Structure 1
């Protein structure tokens, strides 16, 4: 089956269709401080390295790994969401160039589009509202909607089920992190496209299963149409 047969495109948000601009790291610093970890400390540096390596993963899963204790993880997650939401409210959230146009082109050619995230539903909805994207996609999903977040296949498979897509081979997954690539490969997607507008570089994307690496999401409609 070729990419011409793709009928569902599952897209990541931050770093893929939405500019990150360091917001995740700023929000993480606030979350760490809420748990007594000061910015610039050796402990903070170690935690930040893990955050960068696991970009794309469900945020509560990241905090569970970092803090171990469930109460601390939940506290960090709440502080993260509060800090990130404040940054969005300050106008620090914008679409990546060509992202809205790419989504419109994909849907215009009869493909369904699902926007997915590692954030909570509250934060995802705040981002969509800030961009005026409430109706830009056929479906939006966060980890709580699917059962598990990345790198598990749940987000892509939930999108398949909810859009009544017939086969995993009719699915394309695109994102900026290795975890996005793992989600796509584990879900059996025929196209797993990495984009270079976010967290991870081409070697990381390839190592985690990217079938294609694109400069940006703006190139995805042409890739699918050409094949």
Structure 2
């Protein structure tokens, strides 16, 4: 017997929000302001390799705690600058997918590696403040990806009946691993992030790799969930 998906957990940047260099562009500005040119290429590779994870945890993997905190503040300021410059747009069709799930009685949660302040800034830029049923950041859940905390918090807060009733979708390996670690009934990867290859996403073990989130309703219909 299949379990109907009751809660859909969608990543933001790269999955529902078009990432036109928002993360890498903000990191470039932040690193140059805080660290200069030294180790930039190494640091950028680390940021790309850990895409989808909590940003403060990513920065802690590069520099000392004090430097990581300063880098995080600079990163959030750079995100605000880029949002003001108009780099934030929705993935085509993403809003319709979210509204379609809600019309079917499913709850939709957006998760992110951003801080609450940065997440809200992006949501306001899109006019999405009231679109999802809830949004969750790593600090609110306890741990960021690939830990299962954010999907499980979404399950609890939406009142889903079981982990089998949970679908988790993202554009990075850490998104997929977070969904698998949570025991989600469906874990899908999407190719719209641009930082992970299909091979890398498939190696993380998703239910399916999709071209974009717009293919998700058809996948759930195909699976009968």
TM over 0.5: yes
SS at match of 1:192: strand
Cα shift readout 1:107-143 (whole Å, capped 9, x = no counterpart): 1111110000000000100111110101111111111
1:14 is matched with which residue?
A: 13
Q: Deviations over 1:195-215 (max 9, x none)?
A: 000021211111112111100
Pairwise CA distance, 1:225: 2.2
- Supply the distance in 2 between the matched residues of 1:224 and 1:137 (Cα, whole angstroms): 19
Matching residue of 2:50? 54
Q: In 1, Cα distance between the equivalents of 2:222 and 2:35?
A: 52
**Structure 1 consecutive aligned stretches of length 4 or more whose deviation exceeds 3 Å:** none
| Cα deviation, residue 169, structure 1 | 0.6
Aligned match for 1:196, one of 191, 198, 204? 191
Unaligned 5+ runs, structure 1: none
Contact kept? 2:168, 2:184, Cα under 8 Å: yes
- C-alpha contact (below 8 Å) 2:34/2:74 kept by paired residues: no
- CA displacement, residues 64-116 of structure 1 (integer Å, 9 cap, x when unaligned): 0110x111000000000100111112221100101001111111111110000
- The equivalent residue for 2:113 is 118
Q: Partners in 2 of 1:11 and 1:213 — Cα distance?
A: 14
In the alignment of these two chains, the number of paired residues is: 222
CA distance, structure 2, for counterparts of residue 107 and residue 209 of structure 1: 27
SS in 2 for 1:197: coil
Alignment-derived partner of residue 93 in structure 1: 88
RMSD of aligned C-alpha atoms? 1.1
| Bigger mean CA offset, 70-79 vs 85-94 | 85-94
